[in-house]
Every structure is written in C-alpha cells, then in structure tokens.
Amino acid sequence: MSSESYIRRPNRPLQVYAIVFLIVLYVPVLFIPLFSFNDSIYVRFPLEGFTVKWYVELFHREAVWNAFMNSVKVGAVVSVLSTALGIFGAKAITRYRFPGRGPLVGFIMLPLVVPLIIFGVALLVLFSQMGVPLSLYTVTIGHMIVCLPFSIATLLPRFEGFDPSLEEASADLGENAWWTFWRVTLPMVFPGVIASLMLCFTVSFDEFIMAFFLTGTQPTLPMYIWGQLRFPQEFPSVLALSSFIIAASFAIVFVGLWINRGAHVSTIKGD
Amino acid sequence: MTSDAFISIRNVDKFFGKFQAIDDVSIDIGHGEFFSLLGSSGCGKTTLLRMLAGFESPSSGEIYIDGQPMSEVPPHMRPVNMVFQSYAIFPHLDVRDNIAYGLRKQKLPKAKRDEMVDEMLELIKLPGYGDRKANELSGGQRQRIALARALILRPKVLLLDEPLGALDKQLREQMQLELRDLQRTVGITFVFVTHDQEEALTLSDRIAVMSEGRVLQMDSPTGLYERPSSRRVASFIGTMNFFDGTVSGVNGTSVEVAAEGLGTLRLDRRETAVAEGDKVQVAIRPEKLGISDSRPEGEGGRIEGTLENSAYLGERSHHYVRLDGLEKPVAVSAQNKENAIATADRARPIWLSWNEESLVLLAGD
C-alpha cells in the first residue's frame, strides 16, 4: 500500500464516474443500431423481433446509393484538399517565424468554435451574390472550412515533433526544397497525413449544417437522411443507414488515431 | 594568409532583429586545416558555422569558399557538408540509405552506389551496418553515420557542430582521436564548433576563441595557451593566476612591472605594447609555478607564501598558496613526479618559484 503514491492510488468514485460518463455518452447512440434490427416501424419498447429487412431494403434504394456516392465524392475531395492545405499550413506555422503567427493559428481554428450556421449562411450569401449555383462543389468548399482545423490540429504535432535539422541536413546534402519535402518532410509526417485524410473524410461525410445551406439538387447522405425523417415508414431504414455510418465513422477515426499514435513521442530527435 | 586561404570570412556581421550575433568577424582558414571555433554558448560560433553552411546569411560582409563568394549560393549548392549536433540521421531510412542520401543526383548504378557506401562504412569502422535501422544505433554510431553521409559527397569543407557533445566521456575521447585520424586521411578542411576547450586544444591546428560575437584571439593551441592576448582568453582556456600591476620601467624589449603580491618583475614585452605607468596584468599558469618547502636556488623569481589548501589528484596535486597583499590564493598545479610535497594539514610557510619566460603580460582590463 505504502508503495502506491497518492497520485497513483486507485480512486473508486472516479472510476464509477468515468463508467457512468461513458454510458451516458454512448448509450443513446447504441439505440440506433438496436432499433434498426427491430421488426416494427415504430421506435418503442418492447422490441418486436429481430429482422435485417431494413438493411436489405436500403440496398435496393437508388436514392440512398446516390446520396452515399455524393458524400463519398465530397468527402474524398475535401479530405485530400484540406490535408494538402493543412500540410502547407502546419509547415509554415512550425518552420517560419513571421508576424501574426499566433493569431493566424487562432483564425484557422475558428470554425471549431464559431457556430457553423454562421459560416453556412455567410457562404450561401456569398455564393448567391456571385451567382454561383449551389452544387456538390459549393458543399465541398464549405466542408473544407470545417475540415481545415482538424487537418491542422492533426498535423501540427507531427511537424513540431520532428527535428528541423533533418530538413537542414537534406538541404546540406544537396537537395532543394522540393526534393527535401518529398524525401524527408512528407515521410516524417506521413502518419499524420493519413490520420488527417481519415479524420477530414469522416467530418465531411457526417457534416449536416453546411450541407444544408450549400447543397443544390444532389443531396449528401446526411441531407438525404434528414429528408427521409418526414416519412414515418422510412424511419427504420434511416436507422439502418445511420448504424452503418456510426460503425464506419468509428472505424475510420480509430484507425486514423492508431496510425498517428505517438505523434509527439516517437519522432522527437529523429528517434 | 590571404591568397592561400580556402575559406575566407570577411567582415561579417549578423543581426537577429536588434541582437548582434556576429560582430565584424574576419577569419581565414587554410586548405586541409582543422579549424575550431571555441566559445561558451551564445558566443556566435554556431551562427558562424550555419552561415558557412548557408542556413543563415550574413547581414553584411562576405564569405568566400575556394575563392567563390557564397552569399547568393543556397545550402544545397555549397561545396560544404555538415555534421549536426543532433546528427540528424533520417529515422525513416536505414543506414545505407542515410549514407547514400546525397548521391541521388549523381544517378549512379546501384552496384556503384553500394560500393561507395561500403567503402564509407569501412572508413568509419562500421562494416556490415548498412541494413540497420536508424533507431538501432548508439550515439557514437549515429555520429559516425552522420560523418559518412557528409564525407561520401567529397565536400571541400566539413562543418562539425559540437559533434561529440552528446557522447559520454570515454567515447568522446576515442572519437576525438578517430576524428583527427579521419581528417588526416581524407585531407579536407574541417571547421569544428565546440565549447570544450580541451577538445579544441586536442583536435585543432588553429582555434578562434569567440565571445559575444567577436573573435577574441585566433592562434594555434600552443599559442592560445602559452600566449593568451587577453584576460578573457587566458581564463577561458585552462586556469590562470592573475596579478594586477603597474609598468615601472620600459627598457628595449624588457619591461619592469610592479605586481601586487609578487613584487617587481622583469618580463619580455612580446606583443603587448605598454608604456611606463600603464596598468597591466601579469599572468602565470598554475603548472608553471614551482613549489617547495625550502627556498629554491637558481635563476628566476621566487617568493614565500602560506600553503592554505591542497587537493591530491594522484598524478598531480593542486595547492593554494596565499601571498601577502593578495585577496585570492594562488593556484599551483604540481606534477607528483618523485617527491610530492606534503599536503597542507594546516597552514604552513611555502616557497613559490617561476621562470621569467612563463609570465604573460596582459593589458589591464
């Protein structure tokens, strides 16, 4: 007992609190998959038997597939562009000293705290003033604003975590900035790049508010789901679809975090 | 010194904002020379090295390497290579790819490339290490890989930024010898940055002692140690006893100084120009002072004092002797050749002696 320090001693109430916290956080979410297997169009207890027919039905619906593919397209483009911008931004922030560096990081992170409805309305006004028709392109631009902070936040520790003299060594050994980037910088931050791609894809795939303002005639998946909520008989299918999205999102984010594990620890001083 | 200089640093200043890191430095380094920049941290030695590599550019002045002005030449075009303090071994590459990193542009066939890498591994005494991952290497091995990676490009100048700083004492001494051997083998110019005066003395042909962005003195190791030009250099390299004094007479090349604690001394003027009445300092190294229980005979100066304190270090002893009229005791380092004098259990009278040539005359600060 005496060998356990005060800090390390197990704290029973805290453990209970942590478990309760996780339950409160995730149990509501778990109702979605639960009811998606329920053989009734009403979401209520008691459950009325196990079925997969809502899932089967999903696969035969053209509109679901269209919306799904729209979201995948937007997500793919957004993740690649945001991550590319994120790489340049994170490199600039960590490698160069320039006035206004601190405020700049704050500005980039702003979409995390400013309500997205404000960005959505602003972009909608902007696009309509410029005469740009709403389409998947406008959604893509909106999603990039949302995703850039995630990309930067994922990549910054990677850039901060590696010894700048690695890049200098590359220059010293005869490589210009372009080759140094491909041969040293990118391999060093690569786990962060993968993590950023996955995170941005997930964020874009799940995003509703921006899509709500900026979607034209082609809905993204969250927009489609929202549209279906008006029809009670469609609700179980929506639950099935949502279950898919939850599972896929969890998987992608966990894989991304796993790849990017030790962003700070493993790369310091090139170890 | 100007025409055969291989690296020529001409009146270089460097400002970081308002802070002046380098203050009007001019240095000429000859071909094949092992040149050290020595100073405590913040003295500008690393900034100067980084300017040679091209990572910083001078605010004014010019650096010439092999006759070419370097100010418009980016780091990747310069005929220099650097060994970084952190070694900067690429962690995502194995040893072979690390060493061959700079060879990409030469577009060599793989066999030729491998042959060159194997040659390098031989040179740095790590044959067969080509397939090791970077994180499987010890500090000393990393240091050698960093050397090989630079040397394989056959640079005209090798820059070394405290490359031995991260090694433990034993490995350090071993690497010092190997570095010196290596430099003789490959015959290229080494510019070496260190804060370790012993290391600089061991390795270098010449040393520039730096402080606050200026070069205080530039000389051979012997020159710096035996004939320091200022009190700062004298106290930075090794230990030195200083005595305040006043010039009481100048006669041709010899100067008479009334020094506190030592009385009237006659010294050679050497480089320091003085006139009668000038405040000066007389300095002498602890190991140049003789110490004995009885009054020493023969040439040279002698004085009686009180032995206050001694430290026995085996091969030699350090004694601290108080002289009349001096606040600080005089440090004496005596080789324990045959008859080490008894250490001081309690204060007792003792005699100090010296040769006039061992005294160094410094302008008063």
Show the beta-strand stretches assigned E in chain B.
5-16, 19-30, 34-38, 60-65, 68-69, 80-83, 157-161, 189-194, 206-211, 214-219, 241-251, 254-259, 263-268, 279-284, 290-292, 301-312, 316-322, 330-335, 348-354, 360-363
Count how many domains chain A has.
Answer: 2
Amino acid of residue A91: K
Q: What is the pLDDT of residues A194-246, one digit of tens each?
A: 999 999 999 999 899 999 999 888 889 889 888 888 887 778 888 888 888 88
pTM of the model: 0.79
- Strand B348-354 vs strand B290-292: parallel, antiparallel, or unpaired? antiparallel
Angle at A202 between CA A190 and CA A183, to 5 degrees: 10
% chain A with pLDDT above 70? 94
Residues A24 and A69 in one domain: no
Contact A187 B76 (CB under 8 A): no
Q: Which chain A residues have a beta carbon less than 8 Å from that of B91?
A: 188, 267, 270-271
Residues A28 and A79 in one domain: no
3-state secondary structure of B267: strand
Residues 77-106 on A with a CB inside 8 Å of B are none
Q: Does B239-363 carry CATH code 3.20.110.20? A: no
Span A66-88, average pLDDT: 93
Residues A38 and A104 in one domain: no
Answer for the pair B54, B82: CB distance below 8 angstroms, yes or no.
no
Identify the domain containing residue A225 by its residue range: 61-270
CA distances from B142 to A257, B93, B116, B226, B289 (A): 31, 13, 18, 36, 43
% chain B with pLDDT above 90? 41
Tell me the domain boundaries of chain B.
Answer: 5-234, 239-363
B79 touching A, CB under 8 A?
no
Span A165-186, average pLDDT: 92
- Checking if the pLDDT of A270 tops 50, the result is no
Q: Number of C-alpha atoms within 13 angstroms, CB side, residue B220?
A: 4
Residue B306: which residues within 8 A CB-CB, separation 6 or more?
B321, B322, B347, B348, B349, B350
CA distance B212 to B40: 9
Q: Which of B99, B115, B21 is nearest to B60 (CA)?
A: B21
Residues A217 and A132 in one domain: yes
The H or E element spanning position B182 is helix B169-186
Question: What's residue B295's pLDDT?
Answer: 86
Residue A105 falls inside a structural domain: yes
A73 touching B, CB under 8 A?
no
Whole-number CA gyration radius for chain B: 25
Residues A114 and A39 in one domain: no
Amino acid of residue A159: F
Token pair for A215: 């979607």
CA distances from B292 to B135, B331, B339, B359 (A): 56, 14, 10, 19
3-state secondary structure of B325: coil
- Of the two residues A173 and B315, the one the predictor is more confident about is A173
- Checking if the pLDDT of A87 tops 90, the result is yes
Average pLDDT, chain A: 85
Token pair for A152: 């930067």
Nearest to A163 among B55, B82, B88 (CB): B88
Nearest to B76 among A165, A171, A269 (CB): A171
Residues A15 and A137 in one domain: no
Residues A247 and A204 in one domain: yes
Contact A174 B105 (CB under 8 A): yes
CATH number at residue A248: 1.10.3720.10
A270 touching B, CB under 8 A?
yes
Angle at A141 between CA A139 and CA A147, to 5 degrees: 100
**Which of B13-17, B104-108, B335-339 comes out lowest in average pLDDT?**
B335-339
Residues A264 and A132 in one domain: yes
Nearest to A271 among B76, B77, B135 (CB): B135
Residues A108 and A185 in one domain: yes
Answer for the pair B280, B247: CB distance below 8 angstroms, yes or no.
yes
A176 touching B, CB under 8 A?
yes
Residues A128 and A198 in one domain: yes
Residue A6 falls inside a structural domain: no
- Checking if the pLDDT of A133 tops 60, the result is yes
3-state secondary structure of A29: helix
Question: What's residue A20's pLDDT?
Answer: 93
Q: What is the pLDDT of residues B347-361, one digit of tens each?
A: 888 899 998 888 888
Torsion of CA B253, B258, B262, B263, to 10 degrees: 110
Q: Which chain A residues have a beta carbon less than 8 Å from that of B77?
A: 174
- Checking if the pLDDT of B174 tops 80, the result is yes
In Å, how far from its chain's centre is CA A112?
A: 12
- Checking if the pLDDT of B272 tops 90, the result is no
Q: What is the pLDDT of residues B64-77, one digit of tens each?
A: 999 899 989 999 99
Report the CATH fold assignment for B5-234: Rossmann fold (3.40.50)
Using pLDDT thresholds of 50, 70 and 90, give the confidence band for residue B270. low
Question: What's residue B127's pLDDT?
Answer: 87
Residue A24 falls inside a structural domain: yes
Residue A3 falls inside a structural domain: no
ipTM summary value: 0.81
Token pair for B364: 């008063």
Question: What's residue B95's pLDDT?
Answer: 94
Residue A4 falls inside a structural domain: no
Token pair for A153: 């936040």
DSSP letter at A261 equals T
